[in-house]
Amino acid sequence: MAHLTDSDLHAPAKPRRPRWVHIITWVSIFAALFCIGIFITFAIYFHRAEPILKQRVIRTLSTRYDSRVELATFNVSVLQGFEVTGAGLKLYPNQLQMNQPLISVDKFAFRTTWHDLLHLPMHIHLVRIHGLDIHVPPKQQRANIPSPNPGGGSPSSGGQIQIIVDRLEIDRASLVLGTNKPGKVPLTFQIGQVELRAVGDGHPMRFHAILVNPRPIGNIDSRGFFGPFNEHDPGNTPVSGTYKFTRADLNSIKGIGGMLSSVGRYEGTLNNINVDGETDTPNFSLDTADHPMPLHTKFHAIVDGTNGDTRLDPVDATLLHSRIIARGDVVSVPGQGHHITLDVTIPSGRLEDMLALAVKTEPPVMTGGITLHTKFDLPPGPDSVTQKLRLKGGFHISGARFADPKTQDKIDGLSLRGQGEPEKAKEDSEHTINANIASDLRGNFVLGDSRLAIAGLHFIVPGANISLNGVYTLDGNQIDFRGTARLKAKLSQMVTGWKSLLLKPVDPFFSKSGAGTEVPIEITGTRDNIHFGLDYFHHGDDKDKN
């Protein structure tokens, strides 16, 4: 047994720890254990977050589109919330046998939060997509495409919608509409950028899209509403909105030039879109003349968005001072472009506007008022517009006068002599009559291969009625018209002095069918050198042709 010493008896007692120290110790231990538990739980959940999110994406798409879903890569980062990226997403409808997916996505990315991850359906504010391709099968197969299911699952998917997306931002998209028609190729729409809002709620989606227009080259900025998409019949999918098409380069279309801008509204379904718009081209030109002129149009069009065909009804255009009204069709030709057929009327126009647009001559060779009706046919193909263009119709030109004083002087002289007033029509080649007599022209025409063929042309001035057939090339290098001139005066009345006396015996030979004088004539030459003369050699041939 140990013995206590004096030092032991006189040592101070150890102080007891306060109770609050014990409490803090145990709380600290508990907190540490709790944190370890939370950390372990979060670590496990982090590990499971990727397959959970991947499964939700696949289940949502499978349910909504009743499709088999393939997803090549799917990655989740938890450094700043849940950042998700993926690639190689493909959807194959269960009810269709398709060799290619209905929908394919190159890459996608979105971010979610703990709160959204723990709730169903999960809410995603924004999904970014790069490379979206939609391949809609031919019409015969579309009846089997499942409609998107905004709510519950389908029998084949066996699930509920687990993800709701507020907004999609898509960079580079394409829509391909397949066809089984022989000779037809799929119709493809290229879209540069598009933003969709209210995605997946079964209501129309608000969109903002930048569409790439190949010809004329330019971007179309459009905003509106699309859907809900009708997979059974995509043509009946509703669409509405507005568009702006600015600085479209018409020089990308061979044969024409200028910078076009257009604004308008549209509404309807994909296969019956009603479009009302306006275009402005301050410097419109044709390559045959290269004379820039202002062109403004207002139009109403009915567009079949499933094949690109368009009905124009009408186009009301103003070219400088001339009004032009057109109605017709623009039909897509696979692999070639568009075939344009129109019924065109000029109810009140100016001849000089038409000539300035089409002919290099400056100033235009004639001025006057014009009314015209023609069939307009512009087939597809690589050739210039002016080479491909076909016109067939009739025209009436009133108050026509020639810009060249020498040419107009000859017309004035012809009119005065035809009225039996030769003294006013001086024969001095250096003298200008200055009568400035207006002409009236009417006839039928056919334009093709940059050549204007005119049949049954009646050129009328006081005292003379000239009937011609001939050809005028748009470059002005060939003028060749032949026919007959019927004048009111007799041959002897068209000259003065002794010439009149000499011609009186032959008056009966030239007076035919009630005319004082009838003679064969020709108008030939070029735009810079027009020749008027008698044409006895060809006169018989022309009569046979008529």
Distance CA 492, CA 377 (A): 49
- What is the pLDDT, as a whole number, of residue 232? 63
Distance CA 95, CA 320 (A): 58
Distance CA 413, CA 419 (A): 10
Top-confidence residue, 4 or 112: 112
Joined tokens for residue 401? 């006068």
- Interval 517-539: pLDDT, tens: 998 888 888 877 778 777 655 54
Span 212-231, average pLDDT = 82
- What is the pLDDT, as a whole number, of residue 132? 93
User: Around 311, how many Cα atoms within 13 Å sit in the side-chain half-sphere?
Assistant: 7
User: Residues with Cβ < 8 Å from 121, sequence gap 6 or more?
Assistant: 160, 161, 162, 163, 164
Q: What is the band of 271 on the pLDDT scale with cuts at 50, 70, 90?
A: confident
- What is the pLDDT, as a whole number, of residue 154? 43
Q: What is the band of 546 on the pLDDT scale with cuts at 50, 70, 90?
A: very low
What type of residue is 480?
A: D
- What is the pLDDT, as a whole number, of residue 155? 40
Span 467-493, average pLDDT = 88
DSSP state of 478: -
Residues present in the chain in total: 546
- What is the pLDDT, as a whole number, of residue 372? 95
Report the percentage of the chain scoring pLDDT > 70: 78
Closest CA to 191 of 173, 169, 170: 173
Distance CA 132, CA 267 (A): 25
Measured CA to CA in angstroms, residue 433 lies from 63, 310, 351, 410, 428 at distances of 89, 54, 24, 9, 10
Q: Does residue 396 have a pLDDT over 70?
A: yes
- What is the pLDDT, as a whole number, of residue 387? 83
**pLDDT, mean over the chain:** 81
86-95, 257-266, 322-331: range with lowest mean pLDDT = 86-95
C-alpha torsion angle, residues 229, 232, 233, 236 (rounded to 10): -40
Helix H, strand E, coil C: the string for 207-221 is: EEEEEEECCCEEEEE
* Predicted model pTM: 0.73
With beta carbons less than 8 A apart as the criterion, state whether 351 and 334 touch.
no
Q: What is the band of 430 on the pLDDT scale with cuts at 50, 70, 90?
A: very low
Closest CA to 487 of 502, 457, 467: 467
Distance CA 487, CA 63 (A): 87
- What is the pLDDT, as a whole number, of residue 147? 53
Distance CA 164, CA 169 (A): 15
Q: What is the band of 161 on the pLDDT scale with cuts at 50, 70, 90?
A: low
What type of residue is 365?
A: V
Span 223-237, average pLDDT = 77
What type of residue is 222?
A: S
Joined tokens for residue 289? 């003349």
